[in-house]
Structure 1
Amino acid sequence: MKNAREGNVILIVEDDYQIAKLLADTLRENGMTVEIACDGSEMDSQFARNEFDLVVLDVMLPGEDGLSLCRRLRTKTTVPILMLTALGHEIDRILGIEIGADDYMTKPFSAREVTTRIRGLLRRASYAPVSRERPKLYRFEGWRIDPLRRQVHDPSNARVPMTTHEFDLLLAFCRNPGCILTREELLAVSHAGLAGPIERSVDVHMSRLRKKFEKDAKDPVFFKTVRLGGYMLTAAVEVT
């Protein structure tokens, strides 16, 4: 059970004590509760004792590395993950995002900047939140969406591969069926805008989402474009 503590509860998984302490002190100054783990084993122990609102996860860790830990976390929880690394190669960032990280920062970094990123991720996570202990399944027109495992199955029960961005957008629609979601709101629940302008980035990801769900992506039935508004999921969604 989560301890009854005020503010968001953050877990920092970082083997460099000075970095972990600097970041923890800054987050505590901003009203957050912080726990620190130096490796995967301590991370598992922390999760056995507490619930967390966000995990800051270093890539280069002793034993099991951060990418492996991120992948493992994603099989058990939807908690937001911010990855930290000394590696500056774009492929590392892409890999981290694709296996389930929500954001990615390269060392050296400002503790204040990390705090700003964390606040943004917490706002995103609070957008129509789902219980992490017993996450709901969403169903519409035979489709099944599992937020915990981040999996999608089509009406024939075949698993449909989804990128992180596509799944985040889909989840936002399932939580708000029949509601118009603006591009700005969709950007807030995904990282669709990291690669370019908001309009182009969101539209590109929506186009890919339609190709996976619609019989005719050019004449969508489920994901409708609302002129001067944004997008809307028209199907009735069942929560089980």
Structure 2
Amino acid sequence: MPLKGRTILVVEDDQKVRTLLRRTLESDGAKVHEASDGTVAMDMLRDHDPDLITLDLDLGPTDGLDVARQVRQASAVPIIMITGKGDVIDRVVGLELGADDYIAKPFHVREVLARVKTVLRRGAEPPSQVQGPSRLRLDGLTLDLDRMEVLDRTRRPCDVTTADIRLLRAFVDHPMRTLSRDRLMDLTQGAEWSPLDRAIDNQVARLRKKIERDPAEPQLIRTVRGVGYMLTERPVAMDGYGD
């Protein structure tokens, strides 16, 4: 799938890296706009409505995570973060803010093209073909995944993030099945992750705090030692919150 007809915004303060990304994407047919800081990036977002943003988290004096927050408040455009090898915490926070993937520096231009195409292709898939029902009951919880809403067992809203909803979607679409960390990462982000990457474990731990009856003794999302995790109950589809 060539990038012809796609518009991509490259947010990077290093001129050499920015030029490399632009040339790589343009070589596959994309139209590329460049921004060296968050202010320019937000102007470009409003003016050009890109199909995807590559966002360096180390923007010198600008905090890339703040830029990601601003982008997410204004748009659902896919974001691919570009991070240093050791920036695990920033990577996890970025994914929780709603980033769609990440690329670690140093990177190969073929990896950039592959990840950009994967994210764009995933965003183009009709939800009805890749997802099950979105309004569900699960162990006393009420879920509306399309609206990103979760009501707890007292009918109060849970403070869920985009990352929480993606993880919940992965579990409710595959109930009573053990999902490896790699499989969960693929279902939630579509990225190739390092075997040492603990991002998915951190996300599961955060989700458990919000939906388990006793997060210290989780029963709903069970750890399958040495393999991954399992949703231990089958959700029930519902027509409305009044059911």
Deviations 1:3-56 (CA, angstroms, capped at 9, x unpaired): xx9533211111222211211121122232222111111111122123222210
Partner AA of 2:101 in structure 1: D
The 2-side partners of 1:203 and 1:17 are apart by 35
Given the alignment of the two structures, is residue 120 of structure 1 paired with residue 118 of structure 2, yes or no?
yes
Aligned equivalent of 1:227: none
Task: Report if the CA contact (8 A) 2:136-2:235 is conserved.
Answer: no
Change (3 A) 1:205 1:14: closer
Q: How many residues align?
A: 213
Partner AA of 2:236 in structure 1: A
When the two structures are superposed, what TM-score results if normalisation uses the length of structure 2?
0.63
Partner AA of 2:58 in structure 1: M
Q: Find the residue that maps to 2:103 and give its secondary structure.
A: strand
Aligned equivalent of 1:13: 11
Q: 1:140 aligns with which of 116, 128, 136?
A: 136
When the two structures are superposed, what TM-score results if normalisation uses the length of structure 1?
0.64
Which runs of no fewer than 5 residues in structure 1 stay unpaired?
Answer: 131-137, 221-229
The 1-side partners of 2:201 and 2:238 are apart by 23
Partner AA of 1:67 in structure 2: L
Aligned equivalent of 1:44: 42
Change (3 A) 1:104 1:203: closer
Task: Report if the CA contact (8 A) 2:97-2:161 is conserved.
Answer: no
The 2-side partners of 1:22 and 1:204 are apart by 33
Task: Report if the CA contact (8 A) 2:143-2:149 is conserved.
Answer: no
Change (3 A) 1:211 1:17: closer
Task: Report if the CA contact (8 A) 1:57-1:81 is conserved.
Answer: yes
Given the alignment of the two structures, is residue 159 of structure 1 paired with residue 158 of structure 2, yes or no?
yes
Aligned equivalent of 2:83: 85
Q: Residues 220-239 of structure 1: matches in 2 within 5 Å? A: 234-236=235-237
Q: Find the residue that maps to 1:159 and give its secondary structure.
A: coil
Task: Report if the CA contact (8 A) 2:9-2:53 is conserved.
Answer: yes
Which runs of no fewer than 5 residues in structure 2 stay unpaired?
Answer: 129-133, 222-229
Task: Report if the CA contact (8 A) 1:124-1:189 is conserved.
Answer: no
Task: Report if the CA contact (8 A) 1:98-1:163 is conserved.
Answer: yes
